[in-house]
């Protein structure tokens, strides 16, 4: 499945190009990518997650990329890799090259006369590009995107479609932004006075480093005073919310539906699992892992795993736990009382 | 209120067409829809949720659709139904017919010459339709939608506005997709190697079955290798996140803000309440109900209700519960110690 | 930083205009806004959050807006305010005035001939405006917005970009709506009958009061029968989900990623912290504060703070808490048994 239209590489070519050890014929060609369970003889498959190791024995894949330790259990050809999943990614990119849209500005785009757009950039249909903005070489601005005045899109960066980039925001090189992303909307800045809210102007920017990828419908607010910053190689999944003045360290990955409140700083090489929330004005150090659906309310200064997610149970059992939670205060008293009575009894006996 | 511009039907017509039992005059006409509390003599109301039964006695509605058991408490005309809410839906659709935009392609749309668009389809303003895509009969592609190359939109399907359909994705017939939905963006596929992330190409598609409805700003990622699939009659509310390679069984309904992580399979006839999260690589069987704001971390192989949401309490009481949670380890020791001391005391006495 | 291009005001002007007490030279000019930590002599800074009071001693700011109680600790010029944050907001708005786009309709916009657009309104590129809709004086409809038939946008209201306003919905005056917001999509109305779902037509509207602000990618569903309502001065952050028939009282502020289920009524002057969820058909009274990531499952009729969020801990400690939660039923029995044994022992002794 997922046949590429390109003639596939031979296993020998893949082994040489990626420095893999081939167990199988040099001239065997693979043209598609598939899972172990669904692969046919023309497909390449991979084994990286031990949960799927049981599928190795029965796979019909033409070849499998795997770690040295799994080679003996593979019935057919294989390519032994130090990092099977990363090498799979490299081969997949080779079999499914991204086809860039043609350079130039679509007739329907509204590009301000003062915007600087590289000749090699591609501006799609129904795009708006504001005054004084800059689109660098080979950048792709897909259909329906809005680039506000003064924004800067770096070289080889792709905005897939319907992306919003606010005024004066800056995207680095090789950034990928998926549809519906809003970068540089005003942060939630409000001052309460005389019985009503007053908007606090949000005059900072958003700065996105090189090689970041940002998932669909994610929102990153502009800074209130200083800037909201993603360092290089930060990876955000879909529907993530990053509030004003947050700073996220390089190589940190954040899964879907996570929210990070204002002015919090996240370190480098962190991993934040889905639907977690991080309160504002915190500092999370490097190499912290937050497990799914957790609530971070205090700063973390030691690397490691943290969490507060509660696994679902059958509702009747969970209801009983909830009842018990309401009794804990009473239990504390009763336990203390029992201990006192015991002590009294033991003392009397002596 | 919500007066239809069409002349309203008579109660007799409604009773005949929907096979309802009428208690009231055949020729009484209703022209609007309203709640029991706000209805006037020209309105039709309904009673389906027992929480609102108390409003029956005082309603001024021209007629009420209700179950046989509620008839006696209705002071005015009524239509007795086996399923009042479903019959309400049918009558509402009759009183408020959807007016389809005119067939044809708006002058501002950018439709690739190789796209096949049915003559009866409607392509709205500022729409982009990519190469080799297909739009079937009577489909409506509302303003600002982006259809990537190779995508297929089935007959009678409506994309309200500003929807994104990724390359090669496939929508069935009579599907309704609300504004801001992103179908077929890349999944969150990353391989870590040599100190940084590498993107794993996402070469699967999204397949949406017939009669699905997808709420505003929901995101459904394309498969990594195989496809992400919604079977027929799946109903997603707003801001739901469906990760790559998820499969959702027919007739399953998922409320707002739910996130489902990659490769999880959800069965048929499931109901997942708002803001719940389901981890990746799980299997949820048919007819499972997940209650609000729950975290599902393990597969579920028995139908029934599951949950882990915690109802909010006054903050001071909740803070005490949190303190108690931190003491449970200590309590376990103390409870055990108390039991041992008691046993010792009892033994000594014998 | 964040230098304004306008010549800055003098401290004397600011003191007079905002009724502040100046400690410093009348004719000192400030041209930029900055934090205490990063400000230079040309910048104005502020102190409102006590967490940052420690930065006062070392600030290089040209002047600081602060409360009377903090004046003694300020090494340089200062403006004493009754509400430093609100006055900061006023000065920031003065230094960074919003530049409205030019009045008129962009050539690429698709405006129905029956729409009434004020001459002073601005309709941006690639906007669609439906039949019978109305855009009032000085309203700004940014690039890529879709206004459905019959919708009404009040005077001085701004839709930044890519906003959707559904048919017949109504926005008041001075409303600000950020990119990706969807107002007036169909609510999640489904009736189950004969083994499948049937769509319940959503015939209510959304009504947004004056001075509301709505954050990026937030969704507000139209009412099922009656209307979904935001009263005046309601402030919603990003990615908030408001279901059909919800009513939110004036001056209530709701932080990012909150979801509110159908038909719930929220009072005035409430504050709902990030990622909380509120179930449907509830009533929350005025001046209720919900803390972060809480689940509200019952109505609240007393002002005050409520919550159920659990702060994350090191994962190993949290796992132990989870194990203990599963033992509570057993503990309840054991604690009772211990009490009984003690009573027996005490009775026997007597």
pLDDT for B187: 97
Q: How far is C328 from chain B (nearest CA, A)?
A: 9
- Which chains have at least 3 CB atom pairs separated by less than 8 Å from chain B? A, C
pLDDT at C231 over 50: yes
C336 in contact with B, Cβ within 8 Å:
no
CB count in 10 Å sphere of residue A188: 26
Partners of residue C36 in chain A, C-beta under 8 Å = none
pLDDT in tens, B268-324: 999 999 999 999 999 999 999 999 999 999 999 999 999 999 999 999 999 999 999
pLDDT at A199 over 80: yes
pLDDT at B4 over 60: no
Chain C from 84 to 123: CB within 8 A of any A CB? 85-86, 88-90, 92-93, 96, 106, 108
A19 in contact with B, Cβ within 8 Å:
no
Across the A:C interface, residue pairs with CB atoms under 8 Å apart total 221
Mean pLDDT, residues C129-142 taken together: 98
pLDDT for C1: 44
Partners of residue A196 in chain C, C-beta under 8 Å = 211, 233, 251
Q: Give the dihedral of Cα atoms B280, B282, B286, B288; nearest 10 deg.
A: -70
A213 in contact with B, Cβ within 8 Å:
yes
Name the residue with higher pLDDT: B100 or A230. A230
Chain B from 304 to 323: CB within 8 A of any C CB? 309-316, 318, 322
Mean pLDDT, residues C18-32 taken together: 95
Q: Which of A196, A203, A338 to mutate to test the interface with C (most CBs of C within 10 A)?
A: A203
B296 in contact with A, Cβ within 8 Å:
yes
pLDDT for A5: 53
Partners of residue B6 in chain C, C-beta under 8 Å = none
pLDDT band, very low/low/confident/very high, at A117 (cuts 50, 70, 90):
very high
pLDDT for A101: 94
Mean pLDDT, residues B127-144 taken together: 98
Q: How far is A135 from chain C (nearest CA, A)?
A: 18
Mean pLDDT, residues C74-83 taken together: 96
pLDDT for C346: 81
pLDDT for B1: 45
Q: Do A191 and C345 touch (CB under 8 A)?
A: no
Q: Do A225 and C35 touch (CB under 8 A)?
A: yes
pLDDT band, very low/low/confident/very high, at B347 (cuts 50, 70, 90):
confident
pLDDT band, very low/low/confident/very high, at B41 (cuts 50, 70, 90):
very high
Q: Which of B180, A134, A198 is nearest to C18 (CA)?
A: A198
Query: Which range is least confidently modeled, A61-75, A80-94, B80-94, C330-344?
Result: C330-344
Mean pLDDT, residues C64-73 taken together: 95
Task: Report the catalytic residues of C.
Answer: 244
Q: Do C108 and B106 touch (CB under 8 A)?
A: no
Cα B253 to Cα B235: distance, rounded to the nearest angstrom: 5
pLDDT at C237 over 70: yes
pLDDT at C196 over 70: yes
Chain C from 239 to 258: CB within 8 A of any B CB? 239, 241, 243, 257
What does the DSSP assignment read for C22-72?
Answer: EES-TT-B--EE--TTT--TTEEEE--SGGGGGGSTT---SEEEE-GGGGG
Nearest to B315 among C221, C306, C321 (CB): C306
Q: Do B306 and A312 touch (CB under 8 A)?
A: yes
pLDDT for C350: 65
pLDDT at C5 over 80: no
Task: Return the structure tokens found at B3.
Answer: 């007066």
pLDDT at C257 over 90: yes
Mean pLDDT, residues B246-274 taken together: 98
Mean pLDDT, residues B45-50 taken together: 93
Name the burial class of residue A132, with classes exposed (0-12), middle (13-18) and buried (19+) by CB atoms within 10 angstroms of its CB.
middle
Whether the CB-CB separation of C221 and C203 falls below 8 Å is answered with: no
| Closest residue in chain B to residue A88, using alpha carbons only | B200
pLDDT at A2 over 80: no
C193 in contact with B, Cβ within 8 Å:
yes
Quote the mean pLDDT of chain C: 95
Chain B from 169 to 188: CB within 8 A of any C CB? 176, 178-180
B110 beta partners: B128
pLDDT at C205 over 60: yes
pLDDT in tens, B169-183: 999 999 999 999 999
Cα A317 to Cα C134: distance, rounded to the nearest angstrom: 55
Name the residue with higher pLDDT: B306 or A51. B306
Mean pLDDT, residues C145-165 taken together: 98
Task: Return the structure tokens found at A170.
Answer: 């800056």
Mean pLDDT, residues C64-72 taken together: 95
Task: Return the structure tokens found at C93.
Answer: 């708005």
DSSP element (H, E) containing B11 = helix B11-18
pLDDT band, very low/low/confident/very high, at B8 (cuts 50, 70, 90):
confident
Q: Do A86 and B193 touch (CB under 8 A)?
A: yes
Strand ranges (DSSP E) for B246-326?
247-248, 253-254, 259-260, 265-266, 271-272, 277-278, 283-284, 288-290, 295-296, 304-307, 313-314
| Closest residue in chain A to residue B202, using alpha carbons only | A92
C144 in contact with A, Cβ within 8 Å:
yes
Share of chain A above pLDDT 90, in %: 91
Mean pLDDT, residues A157-164 taken together: 98
Q: How far is B149 from chain A (nearest CA, A)?
A: 11
Q: Left, alpha or beta for A126 (phi > 0: left; psi -120 to 50: alpha)?
A: left
pLDDT at C349 over 80: no
Nearest to A290 among C213, C312, C339 (CB): C312
Residue labelled with tokens 């393990």: B298
Q: Do A274 and B296 touch (CB under 8 A)?
A: no
Q: How far is B180 from chain C (nearest CA, A)?
A: 7
Mean pLDDT, residues C182-189 taken together: 98
pLDDT band, very low/low/confident/very high, at B18 (cuts 50, 70, 90):
very high
Task: Return the structure tokens found at A342.
Answer: 């015991």
Q: How far is B43 from chain A (nearest CA, A)?
A: 39
Q: How far is C201 from chain B (nearest CA, A)?
A: 6
pLDDT for A1: 45
Cα B178 to Cα B256: distance, rounded to the nearest angstrom: 13
Nearest to A83 among B146, B193, B345 (CB): B193
Residue labelled with tokens 């707002």: B256
B156 in contact with C, Cβ within 8 Å:
no
pLDDT at A350 over 70: no
Partners of residue B86 in chain C, C-beta under 8 Å = 191-193, 198
pLDDT in tens, A275-334: 999 999 999 999 999 999 999 999 999 999 999 999 999 999 999 999 999 999 899 999
Mean pLDDT, residues A45-54 taken together: 92
């Amino acid at each position: 499945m997922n046949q590429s239209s390109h003639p596939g590489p031979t296993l020998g070519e893949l082994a040489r190009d990626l420095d893999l050890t081939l167990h199988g014929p040099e001239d065997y060609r693979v043209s598609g990518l598939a899972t172990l369970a669904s692969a046919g003889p023309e497909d390449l498959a991979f084994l990286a997650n031990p949960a799927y190791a049981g599928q190795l024995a029965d796979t019909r894949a033409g070849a499998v990329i795997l770690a040295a330790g799994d080679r003996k259990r593979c019935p057919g050809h294989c390519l032994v890799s130090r990092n099977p999943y990363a090498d799979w990614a490299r081969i997949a990119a080779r079999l499914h090259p991204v086809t860039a849209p043609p350079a130039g500005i679509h007739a329907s785009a509204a590009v301000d006369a003062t915007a600087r757009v590289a000749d090699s950039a591609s501006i799609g249909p129904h795009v708006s590009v504001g005054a004084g903005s800059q689109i660098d070489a080979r950048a792709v601005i897909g259909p329906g995107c809005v680039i506000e005045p003064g924004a800067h899109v770096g070289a080889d960066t792709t905005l897939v479609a319907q992306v919003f980039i606010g005024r004066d925001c800056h995207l680095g090189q090789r950034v990928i932004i998926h549809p519906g992303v809003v970068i540089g909307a005003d942060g939630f800045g409000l001052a309460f006075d005389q019985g009503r809210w007053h908007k606090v102007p949000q005059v900072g920017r958003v700065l996105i480093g090189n090689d970041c990828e940002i998932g669909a419908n994610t929102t990153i607010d502009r800074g209130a005073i200083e800037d909201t910053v993603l360092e290089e190689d930060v990876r955000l999944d879909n529907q993530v919310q990053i509030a004003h003045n947050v700073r996220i360290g390089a190589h940190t990955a954040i899964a879907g539906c996570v929210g990070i409140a204002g002015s919090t700083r996240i370190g480098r090489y962190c991993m934040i699992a889905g639907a977690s929330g991080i309160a504002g004005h915190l500092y999370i150090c490097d190499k912290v892992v937050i497990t799914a659906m957790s609530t971070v309310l205090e700063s973390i200064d030691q690397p490691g795993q943290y969490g507060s997610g509660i696994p679902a149970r059958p509702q009747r059992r969970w209801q009983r736990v909830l009842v018990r939670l309401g009794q804990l205060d009473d239990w504390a008293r009763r336990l203390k009382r029992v201990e006192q009575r015991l002590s009294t009894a033991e003392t009397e006996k002596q």
